[in-house]
A and B are shown apart, each in its own frame.
Chain A
């Protein structure tokens, strides 16, 4: 064959990372600086521990949401799913208390219930979306209502509370930790590390991105599109279960108001982090930044008196939109 001489070009010089990478980091750094200037206790170990622990639930869920959104899906049901799983977990543990007594086995039982229920709930969403081909928005809007009603029904409109002794025994899972780092933070970090590797270094991550980017291309490239999507929902369900395991020991209760709007916070964190809402590109580390930004806004507003509490929501809204604009601005420039 005839080959023409290829014009060799010198590789372009290393440029600064693009704004889509820097944007969320920059927003986070600015928030930290603002927080530190506003209140001296902002950077104290106690406060940082508090904020990170609190963010862990949304964070763990948001990591799962990153995969779902990257693969071109959406899940609105995670908040009420968490409430339902928390309720179920409490009921099962209370019911098993007479036979198992207070101890490690009953905690493990509760955890197993949460994980299994999470996976099943995720698979159910995924089944309707992939096998039956119903819009993810509709399916998960439906299951959002279903789980919310189920937990209200389980609690008879009130609050389900873990037995007091059991709660005392289980409590350290939220409040204690290793070397002063609370368990929720450790679990969150582990989930993030596994998630980041899964997303950027494994077949599954590539398949998610390919599916979300163009499902036809993925199909023609021998990617099992339905199974990939199903797996993202199952994984998100599992992570909702993990988040619930960390949530229940904190207050030892679940009610109809548990986990309200968690789904929107998780989705917001994912998008702030630079994952594309319509799918095809996702990054787990970005989601972590998004979660931290959301957590810090609340914290800073509580620590300062500058803004009327009535305007908290407005401040949050402005920062979320700004964080996303910061990235888009960069995209437009190329």
Chain B
């Protein structure tokens, strides 16, 4: 490893207040050329604000920013960009209808005389993408790209701005496992070329894999900075949460053999996605559904709940045969689905918490005229039950942190008083402390006698939560696992179709 000179970008005693609320308390952070720094912390710890200050989106209210060891007098986004500092947002900042090349040069188009110099722009785009080992055609519209390719385009865009300091806000949140590997390979290429990289992630395994150094934040303070090698994942989690989180998953009390049957599904067909799905579920039970992305997990559950066209040969809820053709039918029978996409399908981001909480269950709040008092009481109760933290009850939901949005979403679904609750990716993009809370909520709901299905891409989550696990492959149930069969290796084998012969098959 090369010798490290002084840091290229530093914060010294930086603090930040929004009105009376202080969110950063005199923090110190150093970014070195040729190093990857992971910035970790729970939602609301101040990571986002720190990144925004580093990239010039917001000025600090106190402290100094040092660029190459000198106090920087940069003001405005453009000045930071000119200094080679680029922030890549979690939600991509790309014009979907434009091509890759047009995006890379958006706002900085090269010109020859009055006309655009297309040849040169295409050549340069190709160069940037080559440096990233990315085979995307510069003429492809961005809307056609996968999330990982979009990420690459963002990085190529940064290269086009001669970035020497790259700040990435949760770059892996929307990527699949293999896409993450590709991204990390490219981050290493950039690092070895001397770029300073700062990134955030909630997945501590990734942090251990890619970071050279780790800075942990909690409640607006930097609580620990260390070499990545010197910290275990448990160390990181403990530092972030401020307490021991080794028991992430609640204990499984087991399902009584005589527990009433809550849901019985036979011959569920979702055209184009899933066929011949059959399973059952007892009250008090948590069943996990695992499978690769594209295995039809989400679509099968959406079909079951009337969210997309589907047929079943038999569907029983609490022992009664029922028909579900619409979401309204599903709701009437106590069958509720919590979407994996809280921002686009789960919550109205511009509305307040109250409107969101009761949207799905308005019939419970007054026959003709909505009883706002009852709504307010329900919100108070939900805030207490699900530990939702928002400064102000009237705040637009889009301004809540991901974890609090997820808790609100769960609270919203619970307003419909489901007997069978299907949660899809219940902890995507939220911090470990909140994860632990949500796992505890789910187990508590099961203990109250509800039946729960957990769909998740995170194997650990499925394993940690489920009493039984259904593994899906190519639109069918490949296996039903219980007890000791619930382990990573067995689930993966069924998910990719190399199952050992002795494994029990689905009935």
Contacts and interface: CB of A to CB of B under 8 A. Distances in A.
Contacts of B387: 3-4, 6
Contacts of A222: 327-328, 330-331, 360, 416
The listed residue with most B CB atoms (<10 A of its CB), out of A2, A201, A280, is A2
B360 A221 contact: yes
A210 B391 CA distance: 24
Nearest to B219: A7
Contacts of A202: 368-370
Contacts of A2: 243, 436-437, 440
Interface in A207-221: 207, 209-210, 213-214, 216-221
B266 interface: no
Contact of A214 (B337, B344, B389, B391): B344
A216 B360 CA distance: 13
B116 interface: no
A201 B326 contact: no
B348 A214 contact: yes
A224 B360 CA distance: 11
A280 B398 CA distance: 14
A77 to B, nearest CB: 29
Contact of A206 (B350, B370, B391, B392): B370
Contacts of B350: 213, 280-281
Contacts of A223: 327, 359-360
B216 interface: no
A9 B391 CA distance: 7
Interface string B397-431: 00000000000000010001000000000000000
Nearest to B337: A220
A6 B389 contact: yes
B344 A217 contact: yes
Contacts of A214: 344-345, 348-349
A4 B444 CA distance: 18
Interface string A202-246: 110011011001101111111110000000000000000000000
Interface string B365-392: 0001110100000000000000101011
B370 A201 contact: yes
Given A2-B243, A203-B370, A221 B391 contact: no
A197 interface: yes
Interface string B436-472: 1100110010000000000000000000000000000
Contacts of A180: none
Interface string A69-80: 000000000000
Contacts of B327: 219-224
Contact of A224 (B243, B328, B351, B368): B328
A213 B359 CA distance: 12
A213 B352 CA distance: 12
Nearest to B368: A202
Contact of A209 (B243, B347, B351, B360): B351
Contacts of A201: 369-370, 372
A1 B331 contact: no
Nearest to A220: B345
Contacts of B389: 6
Contact of B339 (A197, A206, A220, A281): A220
Contacts of B369: 197, 201-202
A98 interface: no
B200 to A, nearest CB: 21
Contacts of B391: 9
A206 B362 CA distance: 9
Contact of A203 (B349, B362, B372, B433): B362
Given A1-B437, A3-B387, A209-B355, A216 B345 contact: yes
Interface string A1-31: 1111010010010000000000000000000
Contacts of A9: 391-392
A30 to B, nearest CB: 29
A3 B384 CA distance: 10
A4 B389 CA distance: 11
B362 A1 contact: no
B307 interface: yes
Contacts of A280: 348, 350-351
The listed residue with most B CB atoms (<10 A of its CB), out of A203, A219, A281, is A203
Given A1-B250, A213-B351, A221-B327, 8 more contacts: A1-B440, A1-B441, A206-B359, A206-B362, A209-B351, A218-B359, A224-B328, A280-B351
Closest 7 CB pairs of A and B: A1-B440, A222-B327, A221-B360, A203-B362, A222-B331, A220-B345, A216-B345
28 contacts: A1-B437, A3-B387, A4-B387, A6-B389, A9-B391, A202-B368, A203-B362, A206-B355, A206-B358, A206-B370, A210-B348, A210-B351, A217-B346, A217-B348, A218-B359, A219-B307, A219-B327, A220-B307, A220-B327, A220-B337, A220-B345, A220-B346, A221-B327, A222-B327, A222-B331, A222-B416, A223-B359, A223-B360
